[in-house]
């Protein structure tokens, strides 16, 4: 072997990702060394998904614990963690979709969603069906709902930042509200007129 040949770098899992899946899972839930709770909350808003944050965190912790046993240590731990979170969110969406199509009764995890049941007064028995309908919407409709109703941003700010005009924004938000079983008012005039502010409006 030549003296100039490069020896591949050996990669190792951090100590908190070593051990049996049950041990790793307990660490994730207890001390959250990867900040999964925070990352899940951010990701839900980035993807405009109506999933209860604690449920997302619990599933992500399980995904991390299992994958740490099956995968080789990655070159980029941050990207690996992000992939585990995305995997967990997709697992939740798919599980709810299949359960809703099969007409299975809701379990306690699916019913527990304070944002819907407490803030929006959704019947707990309808949480899964409403989530199913909401996630079937296109990205822009979900984005309109999140930016206006969840983040509470000003209408003109959302107009300026988005790929829509005022009437399109109204239509996207209306679609999201209908998915949540609300009846939005019919648009009778341009929202540019309704939300004009200090003489400024989106071109």
Per-residue confidence of the chain (203 residues) as pLDDT tens digits? Answer: 455 555 456 688 999 999 999 999 999 999 999 999 999 999 999 999 999 999 999 999 999 999 999 999 999 999 999 999 999 999 999 999 999 999 999 999 889 999 999 998 999 999 999 999 999 999 999 999 999 999 999 999 999 999 999 999 999 999 999 999 998 766 655 555 555 554 444 44
pLDDT of 5: 57
Q: Read off the pTM.
A: 0.85
pLDDT of 62: 97
d(CA 113, CA 152): 19
pLDDT of 11: 85
pLDDT of 183: 84
Please, what is the Cα angle at 91 between 88 and 95, to 5 degrees? 145
> What letter does residue 72 receive in the DSSP assignment?
P
pLDDT of 1: 47
What Rg value do the Cα atoms of the chain yield, rounded? 22
Query: Tokens for 119?
Result: 């803030």
Q: Is 198 left (phi over 0), alpha (psi -120 to 50) or beta?
A: left
pLDDT of 171: 94
d(CA 67, CA 81): 10
CA atoms within 13 A on the CB side of 80: 17
d(CA 147, CA 114): 19
d(CA 80, CA 66): 13
């Amino acid at each position: 072997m030549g003296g100039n040949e490069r020896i591949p770098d050996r990669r190792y899992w951090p100590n908190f990702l070593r051990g049996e899946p049950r041990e790793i899972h307990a660490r994730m839930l207890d001390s959250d060394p990867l900040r999964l709770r925070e990352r899940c909350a951010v990701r839900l808003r980035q993807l405009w998904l109506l999933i209860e944050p604690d449920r997302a965190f619990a599933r992500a912790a399980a995904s991390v614990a299992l994958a740490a046993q099956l995968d080789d240590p990655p070159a980029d731990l941050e990207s690996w963690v992000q992939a585990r979170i995305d995997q967990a969110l997709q697992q939740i969406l798919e599980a709810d979709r299949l359960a809703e199509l099969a007409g299975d009764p809701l379990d306690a995890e699916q019913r527990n969603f304070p944002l819907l049941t407490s803030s929006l007064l959704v019947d707990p028995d309808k949480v899964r069906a409403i989530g199913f309908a909401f996630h079937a919407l296109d990205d822009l409709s979900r984005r309109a709902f999140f930016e206006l109703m969840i983040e509470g941003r000003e209408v003109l700010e959302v107009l300026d930042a988005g790929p829509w005009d005022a009437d399109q924004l109204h239509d996207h938000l209306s679609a999201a509200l209908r998915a949540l079983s609300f009846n939005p008012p019919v648009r009778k005039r341009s929202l540019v007129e309704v939300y004009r502010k200090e003489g400024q409006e989106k071109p």
